A and B are shown apart, each in its own frame.
Chain A
Amino acid sequence: MATTTRDSEPKVVKAVRRKRTAPERTAPERNMTAMLRGKSPPGQTGSRRGGAPSMPVPPGAPAQPRPGAANAANAANVAPPSPAAAETAEHRAVRSGYELCEAAIRRGQEAAKRFAPNLADVTSTLKEAPGAKEALGMAEGALRVWADLATAWMRAVMPLAPAGFPDPLKAMEALREALSGEASGHATGQATGHATAARGQAISFAVEVLSARPARVAFELSREVDVAALAVQPLQSLDRDPAKPALLGVELHPSKDGRSVEIVVAIAGAQPPGRYLGAVYDKVSGTLVGGLTIDLKA
């Protein structure tokens, strides 16, 4: 604001400027829902929020219910109020809701850690049950037949391949070895040619495929990893067809001693054929450590 005085020379007088307290922020918040949950999205650090969100959620809720009032666009686009602004009942309720959810998620994760070994014991016992063994045997049998046929086909066509072409027969041998019950990481490592040891020790792999159709599984690790922290993202189709759903039925089960990992691949009957690729990452450090590829036949 500027004012003039009665002096011949106009004089500018600066009024005391009222300033709002600067928000305590050390990094930009670009992900609205992560902000509301009180944690920074991956890749962003330094948020002042450690667990409980201190910013009320903009609920976009009028006093009267109306169709469309509860609307994501409203929720995402309302400018966050200043810290000094009074928190409305709706903001307070939604903030409390997020805090309760985060607490429930933490409780679940703690319980999972506590009970996971017991569950693994129970499931391994159940796998020995006659019915379960037969079901798994059928799936493995189907895959074995496919592996035999594919190997024969590759033996026929490999002489036509140019010099230096990677030998897919090694991958087939690895798959056969896995199906034979050895299921060793050495075998899978040969299949991809990249599996590495963690902390100087060999990691062994077991692959369990539950599929009505032939499927080739390649698991690749490009660096040393802590097996217990391994996770895989949903496998996306490589042919960029938006109609093809992601292949979601993949689990990685690290052993208690951290020296082996079991890969379980369950393929739904309706999953379209094609090549699917998912990133394998370290969920503790959030870094990419490899990939899992599945070729699903028609």
Chain B
Amino acid sequence: MARGNSGHIVTEVLAEYGARARSLLVTYLPDAEPRRYLYDLVADYPSRGGRAMRPSLCLATARAFGGSAERALHTAVSIELFHNALLIHDDVEDESQTRRGKPTMHALHGVPVAVNVGDTLTLLSLRPLFDNVRTLGPRLTMRIVEETERMARESAEGQALELGWRMDNKPDVSETDYLEMVLKKTCWLACIHPMRTGALIATNGGHDVDPILRYGFFLGAAFQIQDDLLNLIGDAKSYGKELGGDLYEGKRTLMLIHVLQQATPAERERLLRFLAIPRAEKPESDVRWLRKRMDAYGAIEHARSVANAMSGAATVEIANVFRGVPASRDRDFLEALATWVIERT
């Protein structure tokens, strides 16, 4: 895959596979009562767009391994529904205000309704997996369900790690702790699971999916670090979430961990006091101070370097994933993602 071409092929494939997944996804959104507090809201986040990276990864991996996108489509839709469900719950847990350029579900309708809508989307994500029986047969369907259960458990554990750090105002989160949290919370759902299921569907469960875990981790970690960076320095319009929100949330990003490790004792004490304050009460002046400390200690550059390293490792690992697999547009897309995740704005 020639460099410099990554953005083009990634955008093209995401648009194509995203449209395919969305066209099936809408058929799983009930057109029924109760609409006002449930089914109209269930359709809200999916209708806001998004990159559709997860379903695209599933479809592209299935095709790259010689399978058809059609056989993987229900699984791809299930992944996207589950992702939307988790977004709603994450927004509640993180007290986020903006999602995909609009107010979050709980900001619009309150926490109780948002939690119920998230629960419903989780349940709806199961239906396409059941429908897999018709195309994949019982054995492979069960394997995909088993993979889904693991992904969901890993995601919940990752979220618990991060919530625990904030609840306990943990002062000594290391970069390894952060990467473990990212592996569980981000990488499984964003990269590992879509690719593993795509490969399993294409090969009727015969593929060794361990190399995919390594690629999915490095790809997802680069993606998450870039996401954290964009939260600080991104363009508000294209980012879709509130800039600086992570600082208000006290989110343990690589940048914050770096400052905690580099700060003087007095700065560290002030920082820990700041992190203990509830989000809504955090003084803006303290947020600005923290942002300046990040610049002073080179935290942004440090995170960029680590994201770059993760992208490099992903490029190495994708070669292991596709050893012996013929070249194709889908394979080019999956290889290009390793660079695209750190170039996106």
Contact = CB atoms under 8 A, between A and B. Distances in A.
Contacts of B320: 33
Interface stretch (B50-58, B235-243, B275-283, B303-311): B303-311
Interface stretch (B82-90, B106-114, B133-141): B133-141
A126 B202 CA distance: 21
Interface residues of B, number: 61
B343 interface: yes
A213 B204 CA distance: 16
Interface stretch (A4-12, A14-22, A69-77, A160-168): A69-77
Given A59-B308, A97-B218, A105 B213 contact: yes
Given A72-B319, A266-B204, A245 B308 contact: no
Interface string B209-243: 01001100110011000000000000000000000
Contact of B217 (A91, A101, A132): A101
Contacts of B302: 89
A155 B305 CA distance: 69
Give the interface residue-count category, chain A: 35 or more
Contacts of A127: 138-139
Interface centre among A57, A101, A242, A266 (most CB of B within 10 A): A101
Contact of B138 (A36, A63, A74, A126): A126
A264 interface: yes
A232 B65 CA distance: 17
Contacts of B301: 63-64
B264 to A, nearest CB: 20
Given A126-B142, A249-B206, A264-B204, A70 B312 contact: yes
Contact of A234 (B146, B313, B324): B324
B312 A270 contact: no
B327 to A, nearest CB: 9
Contacts of A131: 133-134
A33 B316 CA distance: 7
A91 B312 CA distance: 11
Nearest to B175: A93
Contacts of A287: none
Contacts of A89: 175, 302, 305-306
A90 B311 CA distance: 11
A210 B204 contact: yes
Interface string B244-258: 000000000000000
B180 A245 contact: no
B342 A65 contact: yes
19 contacts: A33-B316, A33-B320, A60-B309, A61-B309, A64-B301, A65-B308, A68-B3, A70-B312, A70-B315, A70-B338, A90-B308, A104-B183, A108-B213, A127-B138, A131-B133, A132-B137, A248-B207, A264-B204, A268-B68
Interface of A: 32-33, 36-37, 57, 59-65, 67-72, 74-76, 89-94, 96-101, 104-105, 108, 111, 115, 119, 122-123, 126-127, 129, 131-132, 135-136, 210, 232, 234, 236, 242-243, 245-246, 248-251, 264, 266, 268-271
Interface of B: 3-4, 6, 65-68, 133-134, 137-139, 141-143, 146, 150, 154, 175-176, 179-180, 183, 202-207, 210, 213-214, 217-218, 221-222, 301-302, 304-317, 319-320, 324-326, 338-339, 342-343
